[in-house]
Amino acid sequence: MLKHALGAMNLDASEDNYCNSYLNETLSVYALLASVGLDCYMDLFSSNNIDLEKFSELRYRDLQQLGIENSTHRNILMELISAFTFN
């Protein structure tokens, strides 16, 4: 599901294309959540002031502490976060 969602967004996370990526231009936390069918958590992220920068720094335990009880949802979110972690 995540591969399909990311493929549909045609994101290129390479360093060369980072500045031109869809993520850098217009992507929001809502769009990320919606891309994997988890936009039901948007109010939770919004009420905790989680922007793209904070989103990219979240860890599994943070998701638990935010109140995301479904482990499958946490795993999907961690895959999504990992996809946007640039080292």
CATH top class, domain 2-83: mainly alpha
pLDDT score at 84: 76
Cβ contact 50:29 at 8 Å: yes
pLDDT score at 15: 52
pLDDT score at 23: 47
pLDDT score at 20: 44
Looking at the predicted structure, is the pLDDT value of residue 81 above 90?
yes
Which pLDDT band, with edges at 50, 70 and 90, does 48 fall under? very high
Task: Provide the whole-model pTM.
Answer: 0.69
Domain residue limits, the chain: 2-83
Which H or E element spans position 15? none
